Amino acid sequence: MRLGQLSAGTLLILLAPLTAPLPGPGATVMFVAGLVLVLRNSAWARRRFVRAKRRWPRAGALADRLMRRGSALRRRARAALPR
């Protein structure tokens, strides 16, 4: 099951650029869905994602927001609290 989800996520990530010329946000949705599947099923991919987020924090924040990650929602809520 895990290998199937990992390969489906990889396939979605690879097909996203091919659908980019089509009208609408289809490529973004496909890429995000593929990234979610890969990150849920691969510890290696999670480590690489965390490193990339440290290197490019603005892009990492955008990726977290697009994937609606719980950790990103908690960080934003904590940052909005008065100090």
**DSSP reduced 3-state for 56:** coil
Read off the tokens for 9. Answer: 């996520």
Closest CA to 62 of 42, 21, 32, 23: 32
Tell me the pTM.
0.70
Structurally, how many domains does the chain consist of? 1
pLDDT in tens, 30-62: 988 898 899 889 999 989 988 998 999 888 888
By residue range, what is the domain housing residue 14? 2-80
